[in-house]
């Protein structure tokens, strides 16, 4: 799996406006943390803007700004200065230190984002030295490191790094022994576990799917 191509396609789809709410938030956070990715997005934006100039003009409809913006969605109490300081994720969930994390097992916690989309987007918090059992995915998995680091069979991933996995990838992520790890994750389909406890974990995942 060529992850460079996958990353570029993800950024291009973001610039093109093709992504859903979950992946749009995910990529915006990726661009916020990773300057190289942000430069690529800028190149794609300029390319798409040039292409837009070549399109045939279409007469605009008579629209009032109130037709485009619902008054109840505008928060007049938020200052422009605060919006500029906050990253894309903080604007959605607030300070990560104030979140109510859901324990999954010892040293591993999750927080599901309030995003209505077909993709499941969540925050993952791993204490220092915690491992996830060997697993793969029925669809793609996107992992963005927000703080700390983790490593697996394919390398080490630090703040601002993005890992993309599919059903061909099996890995056993382990958080840094010194600082742990906080990640933003999207899974397009259920996780498939392997090893001694694989069948039990897969059964738990299957049952859990009914309560999404």
| Span 20-48, pLDDT tens digits | 999 999 999 999 999 999 999 999 999 88
Q: How confident is the model at residue 204 (pLDDT cuts 50, 70, 90)?
A: very low
> What pLDDT score was predicted for residue 69?
65
- Which residues on neighbouring strands pair with residue 124, listed in sequence order? 110, 183
201's CB contacts (< 8 A; 6+ apart) are 133, 135, 193
* Cβ-contact 25, 116 below 8 angstroms: no
- Which residues on neighbouring strands pair with residue 55, listed in sequence order? none
* Helix H or strand E encompassing 34: none
> What pLDDT score was predicted for residue 196?
58
Tokens of 65: 């700004």
Q: Is the pLDDT of residue 188 over 80?
A: no
CA 57 to chain centre: 36
* Cβ-contact 110, 122 below 8 angstroms: yes
Whole-number average pLDDT of the chain: 81
The total of other beta-carbon atoms located within 10 Å of residue 65's CB is 6
| pLDDT digits 0-9 by tens, 145-182 | 999 999 988 889 999 999 998 877 777 889 999 999 99
Q: How confident is the model at residue 208 (pLDDT cuts 50, 70, 90)?
A: very low
Q: How confident is the model at residue 68 (pLDDT cuts 50, 70, 90)?
A: low
Query: What Å distances lie between residue 77 and 82, 83, 84, 162, 183, CA to CA?
Result: 10, 11, 14, 34, 30
> What pLDDT score was predicted for residue 62?
73
Q: How confident is the model at residue 194 (pLDDT cuts 50, 70, 90)?
A: low
Q: How confident is the model at residue 59 (pLDDT cuts 50, 70, 90)?
A: confident
> What pLDDT score was predicted for residue 191?
66
93 against 190, higher pLDDT: 93
121 against 153, higher pLDDT: 121
The model's pTM is: 0.77
> What pLDDT score was predicted for residue 20?
93
Q: How confident is the model at residue 54 (pLDDT cuts 50, 70, 90)?
A: confident
């Amino acid at each position: 799996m060529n992850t460079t191509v996958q990353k570029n396609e993800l950024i291009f789809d973001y610039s093109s406006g093709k992504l859903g709410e979950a992946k749009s938030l995910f990529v915006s956070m990726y661009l916020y943390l990773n300057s190289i990715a942000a430069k690529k997005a800028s190149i794609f934006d300029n390319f798409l803007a040039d292409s837009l100039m070549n399109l045939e003009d279409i007469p605009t409809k008579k629209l009032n700004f109130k037709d485009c913006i619902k008054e109840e969605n505008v928060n007049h109490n938020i200052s422009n200065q605060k919006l500029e300081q906050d990253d894309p994720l903080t604007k959605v969930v607030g300070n990560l230190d104030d979140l109510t994390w859901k324990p999954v097992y010892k040293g591993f916690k999750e927080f599901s984002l309030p995003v209505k989309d077909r993709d499941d987007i969540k925050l993952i918090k791993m204490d220092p030295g915690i491992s996830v059992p060997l697993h793969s995915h029925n669809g793609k998995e996107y992992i963005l490191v927000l703080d700390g680091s983790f490593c697996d069979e394919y390398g080490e991933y630090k703040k601002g790094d993005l890992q993309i996995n599919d059903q061909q990838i099996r890995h056993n992520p382990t958080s840094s022994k010194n600082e742990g790890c906080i990640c933003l994750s999207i899974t397009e389909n259920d996780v498939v576990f392997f090893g001694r406890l694989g069948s039990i974990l897969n059964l738990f995942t299957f049952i859990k799917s009914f309560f999404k």
